[in-house]
Amino acid sequence: MDKVKKKLTTAQKCARKKTKEENQKKYLCVFVNGKQVTVKRPPMIEGIDADEYIQQNADPIWLHQYGLWEYIRDEGEKQEADTEDRDKR
**pLDDT computed for residue 69 by the predictor:** 86
| pLDDT at residue 59 is higher than 70 | yes
**Domain residue spans in the chain?**
10-88
Q: Please tell me the distance from the alpha carbon of residue 17 to that of residue 8, in angstroms, as a whole number.
A: 12
Binned at pLDDT 50, 70 and 90, residue 1 comes out as confident
> 3 vs 6, 8, 42, 68, CA distance in Å?
9, 16, 42, 60
**pLDDT computed for residue 82 by the predictor:** 62
Phi and psi dihedrals of 32, rounded to 5?
-130, 120
Q: Please tell me the distance from the alpha carbon of residue 19 to that of residue 8, in angstroms, as a whole number.
A: 15
20-49, pLDDT tens digit by residue? 999 999 999 999 999 999 999 888 888 888
* Span 69-73, average pLDDT: 85
